[in-house]
Structure 1
């Protein structure tokens, strides 16, 4: 990962990471990921900068804001179930406001190339995956920069609304001093969201489909729930937020899937000073990897609960304890 790394898991490790001040343990990704996603992304920020960026992003991504996009997402997904299954088309529309299929395809190819070697050795040499990754990021930045110029003009002319996609939302966002985000901040966080959303969504969907195939009785209940909603709608009538709220069993299936198989393998931090933990000292500058996936498996009560649909453990056994500090609310629990 480009620097000495210590691996943690379990409640004690969670408390160390999430109850400490940013001046002791800060957000810091591996070199290869930082070079691709960008040093101004939310994955790299700490303290007030992290709070400001998270607030700007969540204005668009919070459930209350996403409700108005349900019909739009439904029509895009239906179209691409017919043409091809590519969730980045949906992301291209909601994040960048792109409707041009050719432009989406070019961006999609560049993002695929950029994300191939996120965890590769950071060797910037001809022929390496990391060099190809850097070139792909450069192409992405140029395209997003051009899109930003167009979107600024459209917002100024009133042709686009601030909440119509994430790009326009971030362009319109201002901090408490009235300062706008820089182009670098917007581009880096767009790339970070594409990376995070693509990996986690793919992992969850694949695992849900696999477990449904292995558990026909669960699949049948999911099908019945969806058919009940469908029978009350007109032909080609799009889904609504109310329809999604009725999918309670489907959501339980997703939660159960994440209980068994985390869509994220772990998260990185950096020790900003020497940190004592479990009788050892984590030296200043060392990288810390917290394994979310292992937390889930280690805190299942018995072997039976490692089977799909048998969750009985208390919530506290898989919960990540964040404490009452600036990190509270970033993630409430794993799974």
Structure 2
């Protein structure tokens, strides 16, 4: 009897032990092979480290993987894809493995965040709305862009010996956008819209903690003001269209809003006011942040590098000499600015205004031997290639010749993204930057007043901490 109990106890313990080992082994084998990396602090993750994006990316590529690593940003599990191969994978798997995703801190302050509306806007971007920014449509705006650049230079630059480039660039790009997108003109009217956008921008990339006194709370209040003002403009223009004999916006080419009001979706339905608002804010914000930052860093390098400035000046002055006294720049003139565009591209490589883009996985997949679970967010970034010596020799050197001929290898230079969701405003940005560049260079030489000015990252965009003060030397007429 004692022997039977002893054997029973032995086999019971053995059974339980083997069962525990089995379930532990099964759990370990079923656990996905996630990319290496760290999720950082609770809640905030590694969001603070990402404020110095080039260092953040290069450090983690060296420490964890040059292909993909995991992190946590704004409370989300994120797989960061690196290198040209990582960029290609994400850009070519849009709408199959990945779908549109934006951080809540960006969506909630500005959007009317119903998933159906956001998905519909994404579809419209791909299928119809990008037509608005095609060259054949944009070329008609070039004389206006040139005229406003000349006016801005005459009023805000020429009367002064010293100016701060960053603030003036933001003022110009936003004023121009208000004119071309919405037909909003006048200093007071532009400022009325700009003030709440500044408030929103200061809290868009903060933790979404909606308590009084937080940046996010201020962003929510600013966003409410922006929505109200833009909806007023949209409703007013829509009412004008309804009163017309054709039921359409007359002279739709005068601005982007006119084209949007006449646009129909795949079912032949006109966009509603909320859909139009989402698109307008989606192009208005990048204009304020991205294009102004691009102009600032182009002028930074022109002020620092006399030999680069001289070649740009030579190209631009030839174009200026070919024009009549009151003749504006044309599409053909902009196409001649080849060296100037190479300079812009090199500035965008070193200081890209946007750091990358997020997507959400719609199904689990494997990349570089690692499992990316369904529901995780992915992030492609510019710095894994832009400053990578594997793709650009002497990556810290400013060298516009990199963009001669066929230029950099595919998926290595991605300031505008790539694939189905490449920034639809790329051509608009090109025109605006080159026209502004033409007007500055043909009027002044520039000298940096703070040679070692620090560059910081506010709201994911680079900016000179003191606004890039320069001394202007007008050309002799």
Higher strand share: 2
Q: Once structures 1 and 2 are overlaid, which stretch shifts more, 269-278 or 298-307?
A: 298-307
1:93 aligns with 2:183: no
State which of 202, 223, 231 in structure 2 corresponds to 1:145.
231
After superposition, where does 1:2-13 map in structure 2 within 5 Å? 2-13=75-86
Paired with 2:154 and 2:199, the residues of 1 have a C-alpha distance of 25
**Contact residue 32 and residue 130 of structure 1 kept, 8 A:** yes
* C-alpha spacing 1:92/1:41, structure 2 compared with 1 (3 Å): farther
Higher RCO (CA < 8 A, seq sep 6+): 1
Cα-to-partner distance string for 1:43-81 (whole Å, 9 max, x where unaligned) = x955x7523234433222111101111111112222222
**Contact residue 110 and residue 224 of structure 2 kept, 8 A:** no
After superposition, where does 1:1-335 map in structure 2 within 5 Å? 1-20=74-93, 22-38=95-111, 45=118, 50-84=122-156, 85=168, 86=171, 87-158=173-244, 160-301=250-391, 303-309=393-399, 311=402, 314-316=408-410, 318=412, 327-328=419-420, 330=422
Q: Once structures 1 and 2 are overlaid, which stretch shifts more, 185-194 or 300-309?
A: 300-309
Paired with 1:184 and 1:21, the residues of 2 have a C-alpha distance of 25
Paired with 1:21 and 1:194, the residues of 2 have a C-alpha distance of 24
* C-alpha spacing 1:100/1:155, structure 2 compared with 1 (3 Å): farther
Larger radius of gyration: 2
Cα-to-partner distance string for 1:210-242 (whole Å, 9 max, x where unaligned) = 111221011011112111111222223222222
Paired with 1:109 and 1:247, the residues of 2 have a C-alpha distance of 34
Paired with 2:276 and 2:300, the residues of 1 have a C-alpha distance of 36
Paired with 1:164 and 1:116, the residues of 2 have a C-alpha distance of 31
Once the two structures are TM-superposed, the CA of residue 138 in structure 1 deviates from its matched residue by 0.8
Cα-to-partner distance string for 1:270-320 (whole Å, 9 max, x where unaligned) = 122323222222222222111112221125556535311252874237256
Paired with 1:260 and 1:102, the residues of 2 have a C-alpha distance of 35
Paired with 2:144 and 2:423, the residues of 1 have a C-alpha distance of 27
Once the two structures are TM-superposed, the CA of residue 36 in structure 1 deviates from its matched residue by 2.9
Paired with 2:411 and 2:85, the residues of 1 have a C-alpha distance of 12
* C-alpha spacing 1:22/1:54, structure 2 compared with 1 (3 Å): closer
Paired with 1:297 and 1:121, the residues of 2 have a C-alpha distance of 28
Q: 5+ residue gaps in structure 2?
A: 1-73, 157-167, 431-477
Q: Secondary structure at the match of 2:309?
A: helix
* C-alpha spacing 1:330/1:302, structure 2 compared with 1 (3 Å): closer
Matched length: 327
**Contact residue 388 and residue 395 of structure 2 kept, 8 A:** no
Paired with 2:122 and 2:222, the residues of 1 have a C-alpha distance of 26
**Contact residue 60 and residue 163 of structure 1 kept, 8 A:** no
Paired with 1:241 and 1:266, the residues of 2 have a C-alpha distance of 30
Q: Secondary structure at the match of 1:311?
A: helix
Paired with 1:133 and 1:307, the residues of 2 have a C-alpha distance of 38
**Contact residue 8 and residue 288 of structure 1 kept, 8 A:** yes
Paired with 2:391 and 2:381, the residues of 1 have a C-alpha distance of 19
Paired with 1:183 and 1:49, the residues of 2 have a C-alpha distance of 12
**Contact residue 32 and residue 120 of structure 1 kept, 8 A:** yes
Using the size of structure 1 for normalisation, the TM-score is 0.88
Q: Secondary structure at the match of 2:315?
A: helix
* C-alpha spacing 1:302/1:70, structure 2 compared with 1 (3 Å): closer
Once the two structures are TM-superposed, the CA of residue 259 in structure 1 deviates from its matched residue by 2.8
Once the two structures are TM-superposed, the CA of residue 331 in structure 1 deviates from its matched residue by 5.8
**Contact residue 362 and residue 375 of structure 2 kept, 8 A:** yes
